[in-house]
Amino acid sequence: MPFRTTIAGSLPKPAWLAEPERIFPNWRLEGPHLAEAQRDATRIAVGEQVRAGVDVVTDGEQARSHFVHGFAERLGGVDAQKRQKRGIRGDRYEALCPTVTGEIRRNVPVHLDDVRFARTLTSGALKLTIPGPMTLVDTVVDEAYGSRRELGFAFARAIAAEIAELIDAGIDVVQLDEPAFNVYFDEIEAWGIAALDLAFALADCTKAVHVCYGYGIPANVEWKNNLGERWDQYALVLPALARSCVDEISIELAGSRVPPDVLALAGDKTVAVGVIDVASNAVETPGDVAATIALARQYLPDERIVCSTNCGMAPMPRDIAYAKLRSLADGALLASVGL
């Protein structure tokens, strides 16, 4: 059976849509012109994945400025105009974050129109990414709840309501992005898994969670360089996720110091293995991708392996990202046929 392929979520935005190669870009346009440009960029993002041969495509997150803020700032109780600087991901780096000033409410759909439009672009499997509860908590300034746990459960309830409508719109896979799980290990056990399960409570689709070491930006690269020769964070994360309701766990592997034996800790979950390194502009050959898949096969049966990217590719040059899509699909095919 051929190995299935997908991407973690984002693709680079065209320079005519937003500032290129940035994780917090400013839009080039406004109003209806911006909406039209976002749809055009989504056409390109979906088209490039389909052309490369990726099986489960995303909208490339072309209609949101940032993978967290694009969701958080559409919720009631979040003041998008009141941005404050704070350290995130264990103070790995600082970011200007929106402020929670009241009760978290999902007053209107957030990504429903994005899914409806992307659904018109492909008859194949479609995935949408949403920031998970803990990562949302870690990327806002809280002036209302005073408890990361309670704020996390409030975000989880909003996510659950969002997912229910996305399923009606034809989504096949919903992935919650939880890079914060690789930082706050005590909180994973204390409330993180419970919040994740609550967020997926109404999800009649494939339920995925993505936990990685972050975009290929300088702050993350520096952090990873200081983690030592063996990155054992997944040894703490995967057993907890194995007890959750998720169907699929997306993790980083290619070009990293993640020991592949941690894959055995994922229980009976499907694992979307990162076979494309997003921290490097070097384009993998299909052979490189097949070699990473071979590592994963030592610890997982073929039917529980999905081939993916380590993380989103939003900050990358577009030509590099698109070339990596082709290597992803070609490498998965090479591993499937065993040439």
DSSP letter, residue 18: B
Give the CB-side neighbour count of residue 265, counting CA atoms within 13 A. Answer: 16
pLDDT of residue 33: 98
DSSP 262: G
Q: Point out the least confidently predicted range of 150-154, 227-231, 256-260, 317-321.
A: 227-231
What are φ and ψ of residue 248, in 5° steps?
-140, 135
Domain residue ranges of the chain, discontinuous segments joined by +? 4-67+111-135+160-337
Rounded average pLDDT over 92-116: 95
Q: Is the pLDDT of residue 213 over 90?
A: no
Q: What is the pLDDT of residue 109?
A: 97
Query: Among the CATH numbers 3.40.50.360, 3.40.50.300, 3.20.20.210, 3.30.70.100, which is that of 4-67+111-135+160-337?
Result: 3.20.20.210
Q: Which of 111-120, 318-327, 330-339 comes out lowest in average pLDDT?
A: 330-339
221-237 average pLDDT score: 82
CB 318 within 8 A of CB 12: yes
Instruction: Kindly tell me if the per-residue pLDDT of 216 is higher than 70.
Output: no
Torsion sign over Cα 19, 280, 213, 286: positive
User: Is the pLDDT reported for residue 339 higher than 70?
Assistant: no
β-bridge partners, 88:
93
Q: In the chain, what percentage of residues exceed pLDDT 90?
A: 87
What's the pLDDT tens digit per position in 55-68?
999 999 999 999 89
Average pLDDT, the chain: 95
Q: What is the pLDDT of residue 198?
A: 98
Q: Write down the pLDDT at residue 93.
A: 78
pLDDT tens sequence across 133-191: 999 999 999 999 999 999 999 999 999 999 999 999 999 999 999 999 999 999 999 99
Stronger pLDDT, 76 or 222, i.e. the higher one: 76
What pLDDT is recorded for position 245? 98
Q: Percentage of the chain surpassing pLDDT 70? A: 98
